[in-house]
Amino acid sequence: MTPAMLLPYRPVLGQPVLRRLLPGLATSALGDGLALVAVTWLALQLAPDGQRGTWTAFAVAAYTLPGAAGTLLLGRWLGARSGAQLAGWDATVRAAALGAIPVAHLAGVLDVGLYVALLAVSSLLHPWGSAGRFTLVAELLPQRHHLAANALLGVFGQAATIVGPPLAGLLIAWAGAVWVIAVDAASFAVLAVSYRLVVPAVRREGAARREGAVRREGAHREPAVRHQAGDQHEDGERKGGDQHEDGDRHENPTAGPSRTSGFRIIGRDRSLLGLLALTFAFFFLFGPFYVAMPVHVTDDLHASAGTLAAYYTAFGVGSLLGGLLTGHLRGRPLRTTLTGIVVLFGAALMPLGLGAPVVLSLPAFALAGLVWAPYQPTATALFQRRSGTVDLPRVLAANGAVTVLAVPLGTMLGGPATAAFGARPTLLTCAVTILALGLVAAVSAARPGPGAHNTEQTGPAGPHDRPGPQTTGPHDRPGPHDQPEPHDRSARVKVPDRVRPGAS
């Protein structure tokens, strides 16, 4: 890895709070990589004979889907919390629920029903935890670094999908699947402690950023007030009133969010609603691959499980490289990047659907992984740009609640589609449909709606690099990290890196 490749990530690694969190995030990502194998393997061991497939499906669903219900049921209580609190609570619940599995095993009471129930509890806050991580990024870094930070968090997961499964296989053979689950629980405990330790630092930094913003705004308004008043006493009264108004704005952010407030915020913003629809459709259309791909390898290619593993490894390696390259996409329009990813992903899957030999389809599948990796960080950057930090947890949790359903629903469709039409036609249909989806989205992105220009660029702050009208949360103000690039002197004087509340 060259220093040039790491250049976009230096501001992220230099942020003190994020730097303290990175070891815990890497540890929990490795635990998730282990769980890819351990969750299903333990379900197979606990399930009664003749019901293994059913209970394995229940276990996989329980490890992901309850988060959608948690978004709706807990929105009123969690919607106004900070990013570090949400992510820390999710890690705590995961550590406790997963840790209860080996405890129940030692007590001799673990059966498949209890196992699935504990998995469901462990995933209840997962959309909130994911929303908390990316809200923390928005709280700590200026917008021009959001994409790189999102990508860095994603790289941990992509690396874990390569390292985790083979390591899990070795640990299962040595100690058993239940103890791999215990390691996963311990990794989340490390992450929970990491978040708990940084919460005070996040609060202090947020207070410092708000205080600096108030001082800058007061200094900006003072000459105008003096000119209008012409009286030092009246000037003091006006300045004090302005500062008091600013303080009230910070002390009274949004109150009493409802369970569905995140969905309502997305519904009022055509840009976010279109992004959510694109993401759901993209993930849904990829879902059938999880069913059709193994059938294609065994029935059409007459190959072994090693060939299937080679495809998944190629995809994982491509994703890791794509994740590292994502930080270099800053400065490119977000919507154009997203639609380009969908188009290229559909095109990269075409060789599989057309029955190309392995020597061609394997590198194409690696290319699919390469272009897949930047999608989620880029989509999250657009959410971060369109939503203020107060609304962001609710918006991201609502987005996660919808998109977490997309791949399972697509996978469910893949079963009957593969049985009815065959594996290769199903793969081809999905590839063509994804390609068409990307082209339709590209045409739509070429004609953005009102205010869309404010969310396009992801590069250094400049005269045209302003957040969209939704980026006006009480805490979304310039701070010590929100400085324009050294070469951008016009931005230093004319344009703040973020739009203050109430600004046009």
| pLDDT for the residue numbered 434 | 95
Positions of E strands within 122-215 = none
Rounded average pLDDT over 485-491: 41
Highest mean pLDDT out of 45-59, 196-210, 231-245: 45-59
Tokens of 278: 């694109």
Here the tokens at position 284 are 């849904």
pLDDT score at 212: 53
Average pLDDT over residues 133-162: 85
pLDDT, residue 236, reads 43
Apex 254 CA angle, 253 and 256, nearest 5: 130
Structure tokens at 333: 């329009």
- State the Cα–Cα distance between residues 477 and 382, nearest whole angstrom: 18
Higher per-residue pLDDT: 321 or 290: 321
Q: Give the pLDDT of residue 116.
A: 92
3-state secondary structure of 501: coil
Per-residue model confidence (pLDDT) at position 1: 56
- The residue count for the chain: 504
Mean pLDDT within 330-359: 89
Task: Provide the mean pLDDT of the chain.
Answer: 76
Least confident of 2-11, 119-128, 259-268, 487-496: 487-496
Q: What is the pLDDT, as a whole number, of residue 251?
A: 37
Band (pLDDT 50/70/90 cuts) for residue 136 is confident
The whole-angstrom separation of Cα 454 and Cα 456 is 6
What pLDDT was estimated at residue 269?
83
What pLDDT score does 257 carry?
59
**More confident call, 1 vs 39:** 39
Give the range among 29-33, 298-302, 334-338, 499-503 with minimum mean pLDDT: 499-503
pLDDT at 110 over 60: yes
**In 3D, which of 166, 163, 164, 141 has the Cα closest to residue 151?**
141
Q: Per-residue pLDDT for 469 more than 80?
A: no
Q: How far apart are the first and last CA of the chain?
A: 43
Question: What residues contact 460, with CB distance under 8 A and at least 6 apart?
Answer: 144, 331, 484, 485, 488, 491
User: Which is higher by pLDDT, 47 or 285?
Assistant: 285
Please give the model's pTM, rounded to 2 decimal places.
0.71
Is the pLDDT reported for residue 467 higher than 60? no
Residue 298, CA atoms < 13 Å, CB-side half-sphere: 6
The whole-number average pLDDT for the span 264-279 is 88
Identify the pLDDT of residue 402: 85
Q: Is the pLDDT of residue 446 over 50?
A: yes
